[in-house]
């Protein structure tokens, strides 16, 4: 071996040993913030937008977390008719005027100042006004204080700190809780790690799976539905959906390009069913259970999510094509839990029979 080659190899070996000896880059340290001011309840005649806040987005999109570490969020409560299938309307109870409610996106350590007004009295023609509440799974607060039910025409304000990264749900906790959730009162909170997610991606979307338990409000109008509480108690859903409607992401596929890395924030809000989330044609090479990067798994074909569980899943689109995502419990897929990621030229709705 020549002297020059020995010198080069020695330099490489020394560099390798030095790199191994150096400590890994320190993970940003965050200490949970405990305690918050008491909630405030007022009789507020507010009649402005149902949703306010720079950090709030309608599904399936997700906004970047805005600058600053204090975010004001408003999600008002109302009742409205929502379309859950072509020509099929459902009597929904809503956060922020949609089912599911909008996504709240913040960063670990951020403080959320939250306000909601119970405006179900404004929709008395749709259903009886009633008390409602909210339960943030992303918050560490006194539930008796912050998650209290408020009657129509009252407002509730409180604050909480996002102590842990993850994909969390929020939902109404007013008895009968199953009834309120089955009516559509849920949504997602995404909390980014204080130092950001490991690695970069090209696309991000939020996918919320839920069950609906329905029956006609009037036998003479079979396409106008309300919740069948007895079916909910028996765990017999009439629909299982992604982002609120049967086949929504068949008609409106999620977009991507070949070779891109995609990140999905997936949440199963239930209220009672599990989800076996699967993407046909690729492998989920990174999965953060409950959305926490410390709970990392690799190379998964399916992610099992119990009711209220979430996950961050990442994958690469291997080539041009249409990639179905579904609940691999095929009863649920047949009832509507099916969508597509479109990586074809131009995209568009998936033709009937293509799935």
> Is the full-model pTM beyond 0.95?
no
Report the pLDDT value the prediction gives residue 22, as an integer from 0 to 100. 45
Query: What is 203-342's CATH topology?
Result: Immunoglobulin-like (2.60.40)
Cα(192)–Cα(64) distance, integer angstroms: 10
Domain boundary assignment for the chain: 48-192, 203-342
Pick the closest to residue 116 from 82, 80, 72 (CA basis). Answer: 72
Cα(210)–Cα(188) distance, integer angstroms: 12
**The domains spanning 48-192 and 203-342 adopt the same CATH topology:** yes
Cα(298)–Cα(165) distance, integer angstroms: 19
In the chain, what's the furthest Cα-to-Cα distance?
94
The DSSP-derived string for 197-230 is -SS--SEEEEEEEEEE-EEEEETTEEEEEEE-HH
Q: Which CATH number does 48-192 carry?
A: 2.60.40.420
Cα(296)–Cα(28) distance, integer angstroms: 18
SS3 content of the chain, % helix, strand, coil (to 5): 15, 40, 45
Q: How many other CB atoms are there within 10 angstroms of residue 19's CB atom?
A: 8
**What 3-state class would DSSP assign to 183?**
coil
Give bridge partners of residue 279 from the DSSP assignment: 325
Cα(300)–Cα(22) distance, integer angstroms: 32
Cα(142)–Cα(39) distance, integer angstroms: 10
For residues 159-193, one letter each, b for 16 or more C-beta atoms within 10 angstroms of the residue's C-beta and e for the rest, the string is bbbbbbbbbbbbbbbbeeebbbbbbbbbbbbbbbb
Per-residue pLDDT of the chain (355 residues; tens, 9 = 90+): 454 544 444 443 444 444 444 444 556 778 899 999 999 999 977 999 999 999 999 999 999 999 999 999 999 999 999 999 999 999 999 999 999 999 999 999 999 999 999 999 999 888 899 999 999 999 999 999 999 999 999 999 999 999 999 999 999 999 999 999 999 999 999 999 999 999 999 999 999 999 999 999 999 999 999 999 999 999 999 999 999 999 999 999 999 999 999 999 999 999 999 999 999 999 999 999 999 999 999 999 999 999 999 999 999 999 999 999 999 999 999 999 999 999 997 655 555 544 4
Report the pLDDT value the prediction gives residue 61, as an integer from 0 to 100. 97
Give Cα separations from 34 to 84, 139, 292 (angstroms): 40, 10, 20
Give yes or no for a contact between 355 and 333, defined as CB atoms under 8 angstroms apart.
no
Give yes or no for a contact between 77 and 126, defined as CB atoms under 8 angstroms apart.
no
């Amino acid at each position: 071996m020549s002297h020059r080659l020995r010198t080069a190899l020695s330099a490489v070996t020394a560099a390798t040993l030095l790199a191994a000896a150096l400590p890994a880059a320190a993970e940003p340290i965050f200490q949970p913030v405990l305690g918050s001011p008491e909630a405030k309840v007022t009789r507020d005649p507010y009649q402005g937008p149902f949703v306010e806040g720079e950090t709030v987005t309608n599904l399936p999109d997700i906004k970047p977390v805005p600058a600053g570490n204090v975010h004001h969020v408003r999600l008002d409560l109302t009742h409205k008719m929502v379309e859950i299938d072509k020509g099929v309307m459902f009597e929904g109870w809503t956060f922020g005027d949609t089912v599911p409610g909008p996504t709240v996106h913040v960063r670990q350590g951020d403080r959320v100042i939250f306000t909601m007004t119970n405006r179900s009295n404004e929709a008395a023609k749709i259903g009886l006004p009633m008390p409602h509440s909210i339960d943030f799974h992303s918050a560490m607060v006194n539930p008796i204080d912050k998650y209290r039910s408020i009657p129509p025409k009252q407002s509730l304000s409180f604050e909480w700190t996002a102590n842990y990264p993850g994909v969390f749900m929020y939902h109404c906790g007013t008895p009968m809780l199953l009834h309120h959730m089955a009516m559509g009162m849920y949504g997602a909170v995404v909390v980014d790690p204080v130092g950001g997610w490991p690695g970069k991606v090209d696309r991000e979307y939020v996918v919320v799976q839920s069950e609906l338990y329905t029956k006609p409000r009037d036998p003479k109008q079979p396409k106008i539905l309300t919740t069948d509480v007895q079916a909910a108690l028996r765990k017999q859903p009439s629909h299982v959906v992604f982002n609120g409607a049967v086949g929504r992401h068949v008609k409106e596929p999620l977009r991507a390009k070949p070779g891109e890395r995609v990140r999905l924030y997936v949440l199963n809000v239930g209220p009672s069913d599990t989800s076996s989330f699967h993407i046909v044609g690729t492998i989920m090479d990174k999965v953060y259970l409950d959305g926490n990067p410390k709970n990392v798994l690799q190379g998964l074909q399916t992610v099992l999510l119990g009711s209220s569980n979430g996950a961050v899943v990442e994958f690469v689109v291997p080539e041009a094509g249409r990639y179905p995502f579904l609940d691999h419990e095929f009863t649920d897929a047949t009832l509507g839990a099916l969508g597509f990621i479109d990586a074809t030229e131009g995209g568009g709705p998936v033709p009937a029979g293509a799935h």
